[in-house]
Structure 1
Amino acid sequence: MARNKHPEVTINRILDTSWELFMEKGYEATTIQDIVNALGDLSKGAIYHHFKSKEEILDAVTDRFYKEQGLSDVMTQNPTNKTGLERLQQCMIISLESPFNHAVYHMVPDLLKNARMLVMQVKTSMEDTAPAIQVLIEQGVADGSIHTQYPKELAETLILLSNLWITPALFTKTREEFYEKIKFLDTLLSSQGLNLINEAVKKAIDVFADAVYSEE
C-alpha cells in the first residue's frame, strides 16, 4: 500500500465526515463502519491508524473547533492590553456562545451511561484545560485582576464544576437547576477572589441556556 503523503488531509476528511454523521444520526448511533462507508475510500484500519476510538474522533473534532474559533489563542497568547481576568472571561464567552458546543450537548449521550467518554472528559479537563486556565489566573494574580492564593486549585475547581457538575450532559437537566448552579459557582469563585461572571459573561450564559434547554 502506498504511504499517505498527506496525513493531515486524511485526518480532516475523517473529522469532517464524522461530524456530519454525528449531527445527522447522533453520536451514539454512529459507528466506525458508518464513517468508513461515508468516506468511501478508507478502511477501518486507516481510520484506526489515526484514531483509537470514536470518542477520540469527537475529542479531535472539538480540539479543531477551538483552534478555529480562536479559543486556543486566547488561552495561550498573552496580549499586553488584556488582564488575566479579561482573557478568562473571553474564553468563557467564546465557549458559551459557540454553536458547536450547543450542538455537542444535543448530540452526545448521557455521560453517566458512557463511562469511557466520561473518563475522557475528566482527563481532558484536568490534564489540558485546567493548566491553561491556571496560567490565566496566575496572570490575573500578577496584574491584580484576580486575588487568590490558590491559582492551581481554583483553576481545577472551575473546570471540574463547569465541565462535570454543571454540564447538561451529566447532572443538570433543567434550566432552573442550571441557573441555580451558576449562582453558586459565582458565589464560590468570588469568595476566592475570582469575579468571573460579569454582564458579558451573563449574556453568554443566557445564550447557552437558550440553545441547550430550548426544548423545555
Structure 2
Amino acid sequence: MAKKYNSQATIETILSVSAKLFLEKGFDKTSMQDIAKTAGISKGAIYHHFQSKEEIINAVTELQAQIMENMVNGWLSEMGTCTGKEKLISLLEKSFTSQEAHNLDDVMASRVKSPEFVVSYMKDCVNKDASLIAEIIKEGIADGSIITDFPEECAEVFLLLLNIWCDPVIFECNHAKVAMRLKFLQHLLKSIGMDILHDDLFVKIKELLQKLYPEEHKTNE
C-alpha cells in the first residue's frame, strides 16, 4: 500500500533541513538540490511548496519569529506580579541569553545585507513587536516603575535602536563602536524614564554581539 503524502510534514522537513544547511553552508552556497538530497525528497516536491530559496528562507524566518513570539508569551506568563520595568528587564535578559532565540542568527546575518529585508525588519519592529513592549511600558507607568508620557514611541525607538542601529551587520562597525552605541542606548533609556539596560545586561548583550560578529569581519571606523 502506498504511503499517504503528508503535505505539512514535507513543508516542516524542508524548512528544518534548509535552516540547517543555511547555517552550515551559508544561504548563497546552499542549492535546491542540496536541500532535496538532504531531505530525501525530489526537487519537484520542494517546488510544489516553494518557488525559490528566497521563499524558503522567508518561511524559515517567519517560523523563527513565531517560535520567538511563543517564547516571549511563555516568559511573560511566568512573571506574575512583576512590575513593568522588571518584565522588560527579564525579557531582555532571556532574549539575549536563550540559545533557542538565537538558533538562526547566522542565517539572519546573511539576510540583513539585503536592503529589502532591512526595511521589512524595521517595519516589523514598529508595526508588530513594539505594541507588546508598549503595553508593558504602560504597565510600568501604572505601577510607577517607568515614567514616560510616550509609551508607544519609547517602544518603537528602543527596538529600532537595539535591533537595527546596534546591529554591526546593518551598520558596519568594530566592537568599540558597538559598545559605544549600546552605552548611548543605555544613557538614552535612563533619560526617558526606562532604566532597563543595567550594567550586567549591557555586558551580556555586548558579548553576544561580539561572539556573533568577530572583530576581523568588521569595518573599522
Q: Give 1:12 shift.
A: 2.9
Maintained 8 Å contact 1:130/1:155: yes
Q: Secondary structure at the match of 1:121?
A: helix
The residue type paired with residue 179 of structure 1 is A
Look at both structures and tell me which one has the larger radius of gyration over its CA atoms: 2
Point out the more displaced range, 97-106 or 127-136: 97-106
- Note if 1:74 corresponds to 2:75: yes
* More moved, 194-203 vs 56-65: 56-65
What TM-score comes out, normalization by structure 2 length? 0.79
SS at match of 1:53: helix
Partner residue of 2:219?
none
CA distance in 2, matches of 1:31, 1:128: 32
Cα distance, 1:91 vs structure 2? 1.7
Q: Deviations over 1:111-169 (max 9, x none)?
A: 3x412322331232122211111111111111111111000000000111111111122
Distance 1:53 1:123, change over 3 A: farther
TM-score, normalised via structure 1 length: 0.81
Once the two structures are TM-superposed, the CA of residue 103 in structure 1 deviates from its matched residue by: 5.9
C-alpha spacing 1:177/1:215, structure 2 compared with 1 (3 Å): closer
Distance 1:102 1:6, change over 3 A: closer
Counterparts of 1:197 and 1:79, CA distance in 2: 18
SS at match of 1:119: helix
1:74-94 alpha-carbon deviations (Å, 9 max, x no partner):
35x374331111111122122
Q: Aligned letter for 1:109?
A: S
More displaced stretch, 161-170 vs 91-100 = 91-100
CA distances 1:24-70 after superposition (whole Å, capped 9, x unpaired): 11123334453333223261333329x971341231342254257x3
* Equivalent AA in structure 2 for residue 140 of structure 1: G
**For 2:183 and 2:63, how far apart are their aligned partners in 1?**
31
Unaligned runs of 5+ in 2: 217-221
Structure 1 residues 158-215: Cα deviation after superposition (integer angstroms, max 9, x where no partner) = 1111111111220043110111001111111111100011144124224313412445
Q: Give matches, 1:78-157, under 5 Å.
A: 79-99=79-99, 104-107=104-107, 108-109=109-110, 111=112, 113-157=113-157
8 Å contact kept, 2:84–2:136: yes
Secondary structure in 1 matching 2:110: coil
- Asked whether the 8 Å contact 1:110–1:170 carries over to 2, the reply is no
The 10-residue stretch of structure 1 (119-128 or 28-37) with the greater mean CA deviation from structure 2: 28-37
What amino acid is the match of 1:173?
C
| 2:37 counterpart of 1:37 | yes
Percent identity, please: 27
Equivalent position of 1:54 in the other structure? 56
| Preserved CA contact (<8 Å) 2:146 2:193 | yes
